[in-house]
């Protein structure tokens, strides 16, 4: 293997420790800690497991956490009223509504009702606009792209002047990470290309990339011959390609694969993220960082 592994599991630990330290300092000086509310509607097992992990992580770093579970048949009106209650609650710095919501509720209407200054997921149009403007305007970058940029910075990969190619143009990964990498500032200043399903020659674009960020949701889409020797390859894809019995727990677990042919790519790339254990652990970590930032903005510390 020639590539250096960028491990999200290790970077997560570093960042969570930094957050824990900062939470303690703020508590000592200002007598407050960040407050996060998670709103889960219904009882989908996948959503429960995501929310449980978010709550566990919030406790670990010393936040106060309110878990507000609601029945699957809650009306849109009642959910909007609940969000308004937390918008006004001074002890809450971050409001997280777990998606997807039941069909009778309009996701967009709900997300747009969250106070942009408590929108720690970074999905509110105001925060999307702030991200587009860049610099001091940015409050809450969406968590997965924020995590990707942080991994690149902490791995010591040069981004200034680099050719960055982003595969995928979704609102939660492709478009925001492309926008972040093109801004002025650390971990950015790159020349960015976004490629997608209508791109004519995907391979030719990928071959130019000093930093290749792949978020397509197609297992093994990126072939080793598409990778420039020494490039930094960030594989965001999480694809369930089968099941296996866990050696640790004896339970059936999903076999996960990224969007990049990892075994071959690691012989060519300079840096690469594994799947699992790469970008995945960064998302909740950056949610915690955004919640801490929200309190710091409120206290005038940022
Ligand atoms: P999406 O389906 O919303 O978007 C995928 C994008 O990839 C689309 O813009 C599409 O045009 C492009 N694409 C798909 N197939 C392509 C192809 N053959 N050639 C070129 N472009 C192609 O997906 P998403 O929400 O952006 O997620 C992408 C992947 O990242 C998924 O596997 C998802 O599970 C994973 N993901 C991981 C995390 C995490 O680790 N924390 C977070 C978000 C998404």
pLDDT of residue 1: 63
Which residues are tagged catalytic?
A: 54, 98, 121
Residue with the larger pLDDT of the pair 139 and 248: 139
Going from the Cα of 217 to the center of ligand 1, the distance in angstroms, rounded, reads 4
pLDDT, tens digit (0-9, with 9 covering 90-100), for 175-197: 999 999 999 999 999 999 999 99
Instruction: Give the pairing of strands 191-195 and 163-167.
Output: parallel
Percentage of the chain lying above the pLDDT 90 cut: 98
CA distance 128 to 121: 11
pLDDT of residue 248: 87
Q: Quote the mean pLDDT of the chain.
A: 97
pLDDT of residue 166: 99
Confidence bin at 285 (pLDDT 50/70/90): very high
- 17 CB-near residues (< 8 Å, 6+ apart): none
* Cα dihedral 248, 254, 96, 299 sign: positive
Confidence bin at 14 (pLDDT 50/70/90): very high
CA-nearest of 236, 247, 240 to 214 is: 236
Mean pLDDT score, 135-156: 98
Mutate to test the pocket of ligand 1, among 217, 234, 284 (most ligand atoms within 8 A of CB): 217
Mutate to test the pocket of ligand 1, among 11, 141, 173 (most ligand atoms within 8 A of CB): 173
Q: Does the pLDDT value for residue 133 go beyond 90?
A: yes
CA distance 288 to 173: 18
Q: Does the pLDDT value for residue 161 go beyond 80?
A: yes
Decide: helix, strand or coil at residue 127. helix
HEC secondary structure over 157-204: CCCCCCEEEEECCCCCCHHHHHHHHHCCCCCCCCEEEEECCCCCCHHH
Mutate to test the pocket of ligand 1, among 11, 150, 171, 215 (most ligand atoms within 8 A of CB): 215
Q: Closest Cα to atom 13, ligand 1: which residue? A: 216
The pocket around ligand 1, CB under 6 angstroms, is made up of 144, 167-170, 172-174, 195-197, 202, 215-218, 221, 236-239, 279-280, 283
- What is the number of the ligand 1 atom nearest to the C-alpha of 199? 20
Q: Closest Cα to atom 35, ligand 1: which residue? A: 237
- 105 CB-near residues (< 8 Å, 6+ apart): 41, 74, 76, 79
Question: Are 292 and 22 spatial neighbours (Cβ–Cβ below 8 Å)?
Answer: yes
pLDDT of residue 151: 98
């Amino acid at each position: 293997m020639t590539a250096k592994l960028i491990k999200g599991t290790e970077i997560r630990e570093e960042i969570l420790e930094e957050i824990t330290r900062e939470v303690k300092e703020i508590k000592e000086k200002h007598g407050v800690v960040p407050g996060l509310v998670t709103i889960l509607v219904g009882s989908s097992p996948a959503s429960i497991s995501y929310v449980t992990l978010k709550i566990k992580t919030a406790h670990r770093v010393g936040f106060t956490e309110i878990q507000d579970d609601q029945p699957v048949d809650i009306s849109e009106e009642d959910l909007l009223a609940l969000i308004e209650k937390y918008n006004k609650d001074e002890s809450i710095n971050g409001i997280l509504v777990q998606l997807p919501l039941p069909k009778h509720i309009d996701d967009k209407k709900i997300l747009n009702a969250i106070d942009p200054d408590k929108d720690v997921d970074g999905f509110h149009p105001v925060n999307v606009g702030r991200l587009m403007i860049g610099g001091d305007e940015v409050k809450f970058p969406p968590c997965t792209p924020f995590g990707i940029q942080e991994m690149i910075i902490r791995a010591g990969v040069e981004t200034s002047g680099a050719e960055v190619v982003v595969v995928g143009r979704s609102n939660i990964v492709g478009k925001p990470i492309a926008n972040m990498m093109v801004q002025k500032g650390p971990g950015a200043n790159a020349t960015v290309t976004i490629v997608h399903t209508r791109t004519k020659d995907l391979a030719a674009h990928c071959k130019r990339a000093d930093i290749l960020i792949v978020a397509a949701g197609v297992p093994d889409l990126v072939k080793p011959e598409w990778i420039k020797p020494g490039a930094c390859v960030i594989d965001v894809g999480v694809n369930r390609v089968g099941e296996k019995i866990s050696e640790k727990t004896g339970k059936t677990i999903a076999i996960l694969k990224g969007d990049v042919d990892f075994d071959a790519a690691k012989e060519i790339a300079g840096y690469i993220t594994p799947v699992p254990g790469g970008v995945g652990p960064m998302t909740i970590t950056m949610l915690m960082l955004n919640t801490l930032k929200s309190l710091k903005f409120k206290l005038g510390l940022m």
